């Protein structure tokens, strides 16, 4: 009997999401949603229908990120160009898909490889069926290409990409909310200062009002920039456990599909001090990743 792989994928889509290590991410998303409700209430307090519609739009965008439309949107956003199937890089990718399928990992179908000039890293899984490479990826050694491709493939296959997509939408809302709040208060301040200037009447009062307005606008801008930096720091602390877990899990996936030498060679090619990361460091150090892999290979977990 033929298995509906789409149904299999939906059945297991929460496997990589419902983990205690993702608790900080959930807190971050909930806080973003509360801020979103605040903005919606600010603009639609007298229009209940628009307020409810804004919530529907929020969750619709979140849901669409899990659909084929989400893949299409990400490819358009990154101006992605499909990798030539005759290239060496694509041959490596097909080999990884075969290895994953041979190890009984589900949902290796329809995952596609693209180039883009809009990513800051060598390779990144940007949606549930899309891996994007930078042009600099082609300058890497063969073992580096294989290991990095395998890590991002593992991130998709082992369902970590679902949490990533939720975070992408939440991050977009997060920065959009800051922009809306800042513009709102700047406009209110400008209007108030204009009113004071008009009421003051005299030239000296107008000049003083302008200087006061300029100073207040500057203070508001600095306040929101500092608040934004603080919130980014708090967000990084909240998602630290998730990002560390992602690094460890994708390293292990590379070993599972038979590229143990490649992942250790990749880690060895990085410059590192060998020190473990502090509580404020977002990603694990290379030495921690090597130790984690050795424990996995030794069967300690």
Lowest mean per-residue pLDDT among 31-40, 237-246, 278-287: 278-287
Identify the H or E element spanning 127: strand 123-127
Question: Looking at the predicted structure, is the pLDDT value of residue 95 above 60?
Answer: yes
Q: Tens digit of pLDDT for each residue in 2-50?
A: 334 444 444 444 555 667 778 888 888 888 788 778 777 777 777 777 7
Decide which of 7 and 243 is more confident.
Answer: 243
Decide which of 259 and 63 is more confident.
Answer: 259
CA dist 214 and 209 (Å) reads: 8
CA dist 241 and 22 (Å) reads: 7
- Contact, 257 vs 266, CB < 8 A? no
Q: What pLDDT is attached to residue 301?
A: 59
Q: Tens digit of pLDDT for each residue in 246-274?
A: 899 999 999 999 999 999 999 988 865 44
Q: What pLDDT is attached to residue 284?
A: 87
- Supply the mean pLDDT for the chain: 78
Question: Looking at the predicted structure, is the pLDDT value of residue 241 above 90?
Answer: no
Residue 90: pLDDT band by 50, 70, 90 thresholds?
very high
Decide which of 140 and 59 is more confident.
Answer: 140
CA dist 136 and 228 (Å) reads: 32
Decide which of 76 and 166 is more confident.
Answer: 76
Q: Tens digit of pLDDT for each residue in 161-199?
A: 888 888 877 777 767 766 776 676 667 766 666 665 655
- Contact, 57 vs 114, CB < 8 A? no
Among residues 216, 221, 223, 220, the alpha carbon closest in space to that of 197 is found at 216
Segment 201-224 shows an average pLDDT of 62
DSSP label at 19?
-
Q: What pLDDT is attached to residue 20?
A: 76
Please state, in angstroms and as integers, the Cα–Cα distance from residue 133 to each residue in 188, 215, 270, 278, following that order. Answer: 44, 45, 19, 30
Full-model pTM: 0.76
Q: What pLDDT is attached to residue 199?
A: 56
Segment 124-140 shows an average pLDDT of 91
Decide which of 205 and 216 is more confident.
Answer: 216
The percentage of the chain sitting over the pLDDT mark of 90, rounded to a whole number, equals 26
* Upper half-sphere CA count for residue 136 (Cβ side, 13 Å): 8
Among residues 123, 120, 125, the alpha carbon closest in space to that of 138 is found at 123
CA dist 170 and 239 (Å) reads: 12
Instruction: Give the sign of the dihedral formed by CA 90, CA 96, CA 98, CA 100.
Output: negative
Q: What pLDDT is attached to residue 5?
A: 40
Identify the H or E element spanning 247: helix 203-256
Please state, in angstroms and as integers, the Cα–Cα distance from residue 152 to each residue in 4, 25, 254, following that order. Answer: 24, 20, 10
Q: What pLDDT is attached to residue 240?
A: 86
Among residues 194, 186, 179, the alpha carbon closest in space to that of 216 is found at 186
């Amino acid at each position: 009997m033929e298995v509906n792989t789409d149904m299999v994928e939906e059945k297991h889509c929460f496997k990589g999401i419902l983990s205690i290590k993702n608790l900080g991410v959930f807190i971050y998303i909930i806080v973003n949603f509360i801020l979103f409700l605040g903005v919606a209430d600010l603009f639609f307090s007298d229009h209940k229908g628009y307020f409810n519609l804004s919530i529907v739009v929020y969750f619709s965008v979140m849901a669409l990120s899990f659909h084929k439309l989400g893949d299409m949107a990400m490819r358009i956003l990154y101006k992605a160009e499909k990798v030539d199937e005759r290239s060496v890089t694509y041959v490596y990718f097909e080999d990884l898909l075969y290895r994953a399928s041979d190890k009984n990992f589900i949902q290796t179908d329809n995952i596609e490889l693209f180039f883009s000039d809009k990513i800051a890293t060598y390779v990144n899984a940007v949606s549930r069926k899309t891996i994007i490479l930078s042009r600099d990826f082609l300058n890497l050694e063969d073992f580096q290409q294989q290991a990095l491709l395998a890590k991002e493939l593992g991130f998709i296959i082992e369902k970590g990409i679902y949490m990533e997509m939720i975070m992408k939408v939440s991050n977009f809302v997060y920065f959009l909310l800051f922009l809306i709040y800042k513009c709102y208060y700047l406009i209110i301040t400008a209007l108030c200062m204009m009113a004071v200037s008009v009421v003051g009447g005299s030239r000296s009062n107008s000049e003083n009002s302008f200087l006061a307005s300029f100073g207040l606008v500057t203070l508001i801008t600095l306040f929101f920039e500092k608040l934004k930096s603080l919130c980014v720091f708090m967000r990084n602390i909240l998602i630290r456990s998730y990002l560390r877990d992602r690094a460890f899990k994708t390293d292990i996936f590379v070993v599972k599909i038979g590229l143990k030498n490649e992942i250790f060679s990749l880690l060895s090619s990085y410059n590192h001090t060998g020190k473990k990361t502090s509580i404020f460091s977002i990603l694990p150090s290379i030495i921690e990743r090597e130790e984690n892999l050795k424990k996995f290979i030794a069967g300690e977990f």
